[in-house]
Amino acid sequence: MAELKGRILAGKILVKPAEAEEKTSSGIIIPDTAKEKPQQGKVVMVGADKKDEPMEIKKGDLVLYGKYAGQELTINGEDYLLISQTDVLFIS
């Protein structure tokens, strides 16, 4: 992954989504058309604090987010998701 240049607006984060599962726990291979969008990923960029809401997420955090959260982006051939801090459900 190349170093990204630019900045994110306040209250937003840029996430690199985790890869979708290739197999079920029982070993069945999942075709591309049936794969679900991953709902977790690693934070690669963080925006500033909002006036009334401090940024609690840091670069490198693993986050879980809602199924329909954010905007999908492709930057330098890589897929990312731009989401609001309020769309994050869990930080690890």
pLDDT, tens digit (0-9, with 9 covering 90-100), for 38-80: 689 999 999 999 888 899 999 999 999 988 888 999 988 899 9
Total domain count, the chain: 1
pLDDT score, position 18? 86
Domain assignment of residue 7, yes or no: no
- The C-alpha atoms of residue 31 and residue 80 are separated, in whole angstroms, by 22
Residues 6+ apart with CB under 8 A from 43: 13, 14, 15, 57, 58, 59, 60, 61, 62, 63
Domain assignment of residue 61, yes or no: yes
Q: What residues make up the domain containing 42?
A: 12-19+35-91
Domain assignment of residue 3, yes or no: no
- The C-alpha atoms of residue 42 and residue 55 are separated, in whole angstroms, by 16
The pTM of this model reads 0.80
- The C-alpha atoms of residue 48 and residue 11 are separated, in whole angstroms, by 6
